[in-house]
Amino acid sequence: MDLHNLKPAEGAVHKEGKRVGRGEGSGKGGTSTRGHKGAKARSGYSKKIGFEGGQMPLQRRVPKFGFKNINRKEYRGINLAKLQELVDNAGVKNEVTLDTLIQNGLAHKNDLVKILGNGELKAPLKVSAHKFSASAKAAIEAAGGEAISL
pLDDT of 3 reads: 93
Q: Output the CATH code of domain 76-149.
A: 3.100.10.10
Tell me the pTM: 0.57
pLDDT tens per residue, range 88-133 = 888 888 899 999 999 999 999 999 999 999 999 998 999 999 999 9
d(CA 49, CA 38): 19
Helix (H, G, I), strand (E, B) or coil at 96: strand
Q: What is the mean pLDDT of residues 58-77?
A: 92
For the range 59-63, what are the long-range contacts, defined as Cβ-Cβ under 8 Å and sequence gap of 24 or more?
none
Domain boundaries, the chain: 76-149
User: What are the pLDDT digits (tens) for 23-56?
Assistant: 998 888 889 989 999 989 999 999 889 999 889 9
pLDDT at 64 over 90: no
